[in-house]
Structure 1
Amino acid sequence: MRNDNLTRTYMPRHRALARAAAAYQPAEHASASSALSEALAQYYIKQEPYYRLINDEVELYEAAYSVRMPIMLKGPTGCGKTRFVEYMAWKLGKPLITVACNEDMTASDLVGRYLLDASGTRWQDGPLTVAARHGAICYLDEVVEARQDTTVVIHPLTDARRMLPLEKKGEVVEAHPDFQLVISYNPGYQSLMKDLKQSTKQRFGALDFNYPEHAVEAEIVAYESGVSLEIAKNLVHIGERARNLKGHGLDEGLSTRMLIYAGSLISKGVSPLAACRVALVRPITDDPDMRDALDSAVTTYF
């Protein structure tokens, strides 16, 4: 007896990909292909972004992209989620459209709206529609910052349908076969009022990100900022001390990004103590006692 239990769930997605591929034959759509390349030219990553492989995240992402699985990147701020997406877009040779989500963002900001100009009314695609229509990777950064009634517009793109209804325009956009949706958020900021709905989470595969282990993070800080490896290791020590204070006076620890900022100032001739005050201590807290504790950590290593 034939058993389709293992394939039935994913066959609709395969059919959607095949249907979209059939609609995008270059020989039949030469002019459309030219317009496509023009629309996406600005979104290609021209140079290889520096990314230090941590585990098997590159291999897993490539497998997910091969089946166009939507991906969710979870991790603290400044740990490399955005850089990872940029690196993967470059490695795959795909355009990347990034949207910085915020609480004022509406569904129209994502999918598009009608605009008035000298010629009258015209429709302008939003970034999500551009990516779905032309085949880019669409990256919604810190998606949890957007309202839940806004994020639900991604649902038809993240299941077997792979389509985006444009209700105001009366059009349904079939997602291009190269389209993929990627979102990121910081689980440390979850709350009852600010979290992804289960109906959204369960449409994505997920990759966990965190701050790298000491030697790797020091290598990253040294490469990105231009300081010596010894100075980079001291900066990472400070970062690790600060991260131990998360939940004990600090809402968030020092990110790898902040350590790179401090290193960049040091590489430009700023004294380590001043660089750490400007890039590490002052931005993260206004509490006098916490500042004293962080300043003490800085003087321990510099």
Structure 2
Amino acid sequence: MADDASRKRKVRGRKIRSDRSRKEGRRAKKELARKASDAGERNGDAPLQAPEEVVPEPFVETDAVASLCDRIGGWLEADQPVHLIGPTGCGKTALALSAAAQRGRPVVWLNGDESVDTAALVGAHAGGERYEEHDRFVSGVDKKTQIVRERWVDNPLSVAVREGATLVYNEFSRSDPAAHNVLLSVFEEGVLERPGKRGDDRAIDVHPEFRAIVTSNDAEYAGVHRQQDALLDRFVGVHVGYYDDETEREIVRAHVDLSDESVETVVETTRALRENLEFVVGTRAAITAAKGLAVFDGNGDDGRLDDDLLTEIFTDVLSPKVADEDPDGVAELRSTIAEAI
């Protein structure tokens, strides 16, 4: 009888140890899943942004800007990806973000450069995580099992097509054209293939609300790649030039606290230099010059601007475009600016 009771206690003890081992295994799996989720958020698994979070601040919307936004929005409503093309500093990025926000859908941002490849667009394996399960079913015997799980991290394009977000791909033409082959099936067949992903979920069906806006500088800019015709045929191209003088004044005024007269002078000078210089003089240059003017206080006692100071400010703003190419370029630039002023 005693022997039988002892045997039952031992059996019950083994059962308790076995149950405890299974519970430890379940806890380890839950902890692994939690860590993978946290790591995914840190590493860009969820790059979604609410539309109200991406609107540039400040953003000026004159009739000219509103017209462009409506044009972009119309093409997006027609389910056409939009390619914004124009010179640097003309406001393409702000325009793309504003148009994306107007859709009221989440927005995914991506910045292009030489390092962007297919994995940077769709995702890749981000290493593995492991844990151990201990089986002590037999008294005195500890059986260890190591479990390794690979973790896949979705990158911006995968997230955007799955969630029906608006993808804003800035500096699109600076990325290697080979990286964009995955976009062909997205726009043409409504499917995104994820190379490197194994299993039934290798392909993602494109959400019906997914849209794309890409921005590029004009083709003559350094570091710009010619994209494949098969892909460009699937975009509509909207050319963005420099805005009219009224819009440029409103943009500068929104960024810098200056008198109307000073803002007008800065914008007039910028537009004159744009005509007289061989390189690009964008609206961004006008904003920077206005900030310099506000810091160095070029207003005289009679409210007029000091021409010499304005010349120096514009020379400082624009000299990086010529200093590396011609030792005498800065002096020539200063002379041209002085004449314009």
Tell me the TM-score normalised to structure 1 length. 0.76
| Aligned-residue offset at 1:104 | 2.1
| Aligned-residue offset at 1:105 | 1.4
Aligned partner of residue 265 in structure 1, secondary structure? helix
CA contact (8 A) 2:107 2:167 kept: yes
Q: Distance in 2 between matches of 1:201 and 1:145?
A: 15
Comparing 141-150 and 193-202, the one that deviates more: 193-202
Q: Distance in 2 between matches of 1:191 and 1:153?
A: 25
Give the match for residue 166 of structure 1: 194
> What CA RMSD, in Å, does the superposition of the two structures yield over aligned residues?
2.6
Uncovered stretches (5+) of structure 1, i.e. residues with no partner? 1-37
| Aligned-residue offset at 1:191 | 8.5
Give the match for residue 30 of structure 1: none
CA contact (8 A) 1:69 1:205 kept: yes
**Which of 210, 222, 228 is equivalent to 1:179?**
210
Give the match for residue 58 of structure 1: 69
CA deviation string 1:130-149 (max 9, x = no partner)? 11111211122121111111
Q: Distance in 2 between matches of 1:91 and 1:193?
A: 29
Correspondences of 1:175-214 after superposition (within 5 Å): 175-189=206-220, 194-214=225-245
**Which of 90, 97, 100 is equivalent to 1:79?**
90
| Aligned-residue offset at 1:124 | 0.2
Uncovered stretches (5+) of structure 2, i.e. residues with no partner? 1-44, 131-148, 299-308
Give % identity: 23
Give the match for residue 277 of structure 1: 315
Taking a change above 3 Å as real, the CA distance of residues 125 and 58 of structure 1, as seen in their structure-2 partners, is: same
Alignment pair present for 1:221 and 2:249: no
Give the match for residue 180 of structure 2: 151
Give the match for residue 51 of structure 2: 44
| Aligned-residue offset at 1:294 | 3.0
Q: Distance in 2 between matches of 1:270 and 1:137?
A: 43
CA contact (8 A) 1:103 1:145 kept: yes
CA deviation string 1:47-98 (max 9, x = no partner)? 7531334163222222212232100001001101100111122222222222
Tell me the TM-score normalised to structure 2 length. 0.68
Taking a change above 3 Å as real, the CA distance of residues 257 and 190 of structure 1, as seen in their structure-2 partners, is: closer
Taking a change above 3 Å as real, the CA distance of residues 40 and 191 of structure 1, as seen in their structure-2 partners, is: closer
Taking a change above 3 Å as real, the CA distance of residues 268 and 95 of structure 1, as seen in their structure-2 partners, is: farther
Give the match for residue 306 of structure 2: none
Give the match for residue 263 of structure 1: 290
Taking a change above 3 Å as real, the CA distance of residues 192 and 140 of structure 1, as seen in their structure-2 partners, is: closer
CA contact (8 A) 1:51 1:83 kept: no
CA contact (8 A) 1:74 1:209 kept: yes
Comparing 175-184 and 42-51, the one that deviates more: 42-51
